[in-house]
Structure 1
Amino acid sequence: MYLNLSGAACLCFVLCSGPVMAEAPGQPRAPSGKFDWGANRLDPATLEKQIAGDQAEVNLDADILDRELDLNHAVAIAVNRHPSIADTIATLAESTSAIDVARAGYFPQITAGLGGGNSTLTGTGNSTSVSVSQMLFDFGKVSGAVDQAKAGVSRQQATVLKQIDTIAQQTAGAVVNAHRYQVLEQIAKEQVAAVEKVLLMSQRRADAGVSTRSDPIQAESRVQSARADLLQVSAQKAQAFEHLRTLLGGRFAGTIASLPEDKAALVALNPDPNTDGIPDVLAAKADMRSAIAQLDVAKAQRWPTLTLDISQNKSLSGVNPSTYVPDGSYRSIMLDVSWKVFQGGALSAQIKAADNALASARSRVQVARLNGSDDARSFRELAIGAKGRFGVLERRKRSITEARNLYREQYKLGTRSILDLLNAEQEFFQAVSDEESVKHDFWINLVGYVAATGAGREFYGLNKTVVQGMDVLP
């Protein structure tokens, strides 16, 4: 329905609406009066009251009662609790409704109405009407819309997989770091105990007069330094466990199990990894399918749509305006062909836009493959480098262990200074710490590699399981 106002009516509207204010170019209008919705202020207290309701509180107080937590179990707990995965699953359920909406175009469209009015020909009357329209053939308009909706569901499925992989990678990384600082804390405790033994030995030798009083002073200084290192590592361990708590959704007071070296040995660090299964590639492919469907729909708009239209109306009071019969009825059956013959170039523009969308989607597939391959190859090189360093550090630890034992015996015999012994103790525990750090660096990069190649669900045993109500298949 179109509304046409005469010039006099328009003039009246302008005059009645109040004065028209001219504003300088570029000068923003200041909100005022009842139209001020807070565009020029930030008030958290008022905002909190305005959006009060279901606050969806985050609970991190649940206790995880496992005495020992392994990598796969931690990942399983996280992916089944994290709200970001629930968010993507809910969006997936929402997107499936779009398929039903598109498929509705295959079914009859029924409209009913009831109204009344006054006509100069039939007078005053009330009538009811029912109309049924069934699409018979549309050259692929509805099927294209259905394909587009299905592509949207496929894309959201890829988004769910990506979020599962993301949470799995974050949790695995948190477990690795928690295990790292758990081991380093134990090493730091052993270092404190070892240096305290040296201090006790130096005190006894000084009391016996076989060494100077400076020896216990130097040893005491190293003990304090080792205790400070222990406090730092303990703080880092607590931080790592708190981050793990965020991902697990609850407190864990046990210990992290040893990392599964047997599973790590089964991962093939390929120099040219297959990126077909990574979620970003799957999402880009879904975008390409959607673009193809969009192009099909745009091309189908060039052709007519054939529908069968059936309608009936009946006067409840007064004269039927279609038959001029009092309280009469009127029915019709029509085969309708509608064709958008000319729209000012809109159809051509839609086809061009769909072609460009398809070209863009193809490029996104290539970009996703490149990014996935680049990430995988980067993690691969770092993992291989960590493996190589681990062998070097292992040999270094063996040589320092021999020197440490030799210096201890020589100090007891008085042929080696306490400074040499303390340095040997420090070097030994530094070598042990470096070895463990490199081992965990390898695991961090391995976790990144399996995530970048889309192999994380298989690695963590998530395939053929249920994650927040969704079946995860290989």
Structure 2
Amino acid sequence: MRALFSPRSRSSLPLAAALALLATSALAQQTEPQQTDPVPPPPAVGDNAQNPPPEAKATAVPQVDLLAALQSALRTHPSVQSARQKLTASNYELDAAEYRLYPTPAIDLGAISGSSRSNGNQTSISVTQPLYAFGRYTSAIDAAESRVSAATVAIDEAQLDLMDQTVTAYYEVVKAEARLAVQNRFVDQHRDLRDTVERRLKAEVGSESDLVLAQTRLSQAQNDRSLIEAQVKKARNTLMNLTSLNAAQVVPPAQLDAPFRSEEAFQSKALAYSPNLKRLRAESIALKQDAAVAWANTKPQLVLRAERVESNVPTPYADNRLITALQYQPGAGFSAGSVAQAAEAKAVAAELDIRSAQLKLTERVSTVYSDLTANLTQARNLERVLRLNNDFFQSMLRQFQLGKRSWLDVLNALRDSNQSELGYATAAADAQLNSRRALLLSGQLEAVVDAGKGAAQ
């Protein structure tokens, strides 16, 4: 008799375990200062450059880090819970398959109707043990075991998919909040410029058209900020739906370098790790065993049956029997052969599904790697552009004060600086997102939240 497996003993859940092991290192990270943006924000303009406003008192707001978001999603999301329930069902199906090796008891209670002397009752109790069935029972057990393996890996697959969604949602919040901080500075700069023009107009050294232009640009900046605020709210709602955590602020994770030096190394790691491919391979084995069962059902089976029959027709009697029988049940209309051919076709389709999944994974890995490379290049270029635009804006402001540039030149220079800073914030966040997605696809789970373990390969 093959060993019976319980759902508890089969569910290893390596993804959740890996995250649990990271709790200690994550707590240590929280005590360290977070890395700051390597690009300084544009300097203040107008009178606030000499007299900066007093800083507002810091207020405590609920914060969520990436590790807490991942752990909460894995603990509460219904997709993972559903996968675990399917594993439980697979274990029970394996139990049922293994119990078919035991004798099958049966009780028949019958009433006989016929002539007046043939009316009465008959009872039979039997136990039937299969002796040889061309592998239909052992193949069924093998298929059930493969489905347990597939269901176990399916938990990892559900967790990996949920982690990818959570990391993506988390970085959407990080990106939106970074863009909002940039836009807030942009609005403050425009407000300072507007106030400066108002004072110049009162001193009769400015023009009304300059004030109208400054107010128009300020209104545009405020409108753009409202759009980014809506993006922040939407991103937070998405993250909350995945994690069941309601946080007013997320903690940007530590910066990661590119985890792979070549796409080939990334492809190799991802193909070797993929829970989706492992699940499909296990399901393919199960379908092959199903085909073996179906073909065995087209053949007879040898059974041993012990039974006791008691009847009162025509007179009371009892009889004990030991029967060796050859049973053959080809199905309605001899359909067993068609069922076997259908099962064999499903097994072939499963092999093709594996090849299709490999192609999709290869394409996905290539896309992530290409996006990551592009994001890193954009971030480096935009960092240089941002510094140049900041310097150019300050130059335009000084030349305006000397009467060599128009007010429109100053506002255009400030707009260019803002656009480059928004682009840099977007590219930097996307680079970190794709770095962590690459780590997830390659199975480097600890490095997703621990930057010290994300060495390039």
TM range (shorter): 0.7 to 0.9
Q: 1:276 aligns with which of 257, 272, 297?
A: 272
| Alignment-derived partner of residue 212 in structure 1 | 207
1:420 aligns to 2:409 (yes or no): yes
Residue 404 of structure 1, CA deviation: 1.5
Provide the secondary structure at the position in 2 that maps to 1:210: coil
Output the amino acid matched with 1:455.
Answer: G
Go from structure 1 to structure 2 and tell me whether the alpha carbon gap of 1:248 and 1:428 turns closer, same or farther (over 3 Å shift): same
Go from structure 1 to structure 2 and tell me whether the alpha carbon gap of 1:427 and 1:461 turns closer, same or farther (over 3 Å shift): closer
Provide the secondary structure at the position in 2 that maps to 1:261: coil
Contact 1:382 1:445 survives alignment (8 Å):
yes
Deviations along 1:321-367, one digit per CA (max 9) or x if unpaired, are 6xx5x3x3210112223356999775554444344333222111111
1:305 aligns to 2:301 (yes or no): yes
Deviations along 1:448-473, one digit per CA (max 9) or x if unpaired, are 4445x3537555479xxxxxxxxxxx
Q: 1:362 aligns with which of 351, 366, 373?
A: 351
Output the amino acid matched with 1:260.
Answer: A
Go from structure 1 to structure 2 and tell me whether the alpha carbon gap of 1:170 and 1:269 turns closer, same or farther (over 3 Å shift): farther
Contact 1:273 1:373 survives alignment (8 Å):
yes
Contact 1:165 1:456 survives alignment (8 Å):
no
Contact 2:153 2:275 survives alignment (8 Å):
yes
Structure holding more helix per residue: 2
Matches of 1:139 and 1:81 in 2, distance apart?
Answer: 46
Output the amino acid matched with 2:99.
Answer: A
| Alignment-derived partner of residue 393 in structure 2 | 404
| Alignment-derived partner of residue 259 in structure 1 | 253
1:167 aligns to 2:162 (yes or no): yes
Contact 1:71 1:175 survives alignment (8 Å):
yes
Deviations along 1:88-136, one digit per CA (max 9) or x if unpaired, are 3222222322212211210011112334434549644444331111112
TM-score (norm 2): 0.77
Go from structure 1 to structure 2 and tell me whether the alpha carbon gap of 1:352 and 1:461 turns closer, same or farther (over 3 Å shift): farther
Q: Which has the larger radius of gyration?
A: 1
Greater shift in the superposed pair: 170-179 or 117-126: 117-126
Matches of 1:235 and 1:393 in 2, distance apart?
Answer: 25
Output the amino acid matched with 1:218.
Answer: L
Ranges in structure 2 where 5+ consecutive residues have no aligned partner = 1-59, 451-457
| Alignment-derived partner of residue 128 in structure 2 | 133
Mapping of residues 86-125 of structure 1, within 5 Å: 86-118=81-113, 120=115, 123-125=118-120
Go from structure 1 to structure 2 and tell me whether the alpha carbon gap of 1:402 and 1:341 turns closer, same or farther (over 3 Å shift): closer
| Alignment-derived partner of residue 321 in structure 2 | 332
| Alignment-derived partner of residue 378 in structure 2 | 389
1:244 aligns to 2:239 (yes or no): yes
Matches of 1:240 and 1:298 in 2, distance apart?
Answer: 51
Provide the secondary structure at the position in 2 that maps to 1:106: coil
Output the amino acid matched with 2:222.
Answer: R
TM-score (norm 1): 0.74
Matches of 1:320 and 1:171 in 2, distance apart?
Answer: 73
Number of residue-to-residue matches in the alignment: 388
Residue 267 of structure 1, CA deviation: 5.3
| Alignment-derived partner of residue 441 in structure 1 | 430
Residue 217 of structure 1, CA deviation: 2.5
Matches of 2:384 and 2:287 in 1, distance apart?
Answer: 58
Matches of 2:329 and 2:310 in 1, distance apart?
Answer: 32
Residue 399 of structure 1, CA deviation: 0.9
1:455 aligns to 2:440 (yes or no): no
| Alignment-derived partner of residue 288 in structure 1 | 284
Go from structure 1 to structure 2 and tell me whether the alpha carbon gap of 1:208 and 1:341 turns closer, same or farther (over 3 Å shift): closer
Residue 189 of structure 1, CA deviation: 1.1
Matches of 1:458 and 1:369 in 2, distance apart?
Answer: 25
% identity of equivalent residues: 22
Contact 2:330 2:336 survives alignment (8 Å):
no
Matches of 2:388 and 2:357 in 1, distance apart?
Answer: 47
Contact 2:259 2:435 survives alignment (8 Å):
no
Output the amino acid matched with 1:311.
Answer: E
1:194 aligns to 2:194 (yes or no): no
| Alignment-derived partner of residue 418 in structure 2 | 429
Provide the secondary structure at the position in 1 that maps to 2:100: helix
Matches of 1:115 and 1:66 in 2, distance apart?
Answer: 76
Go from structure 1 to structure 2 and tell me whether the alpha carbon gap of 1:350 and 1:420 turns closer, same or farther (over 3 Å shift): same
Matches of 1:308 and 1:391 in 2, distance apart?
Answer: 78
Deviations along 1:203-254, one digit per CA (max 9) or x if unpaired, are 233333333333223222222221112112112111111222211224222x
Contact 2:143 2:290 survives alignment (8 Å):
yes
| Alignment-derived partner of residue 142 in structure 1 | 137
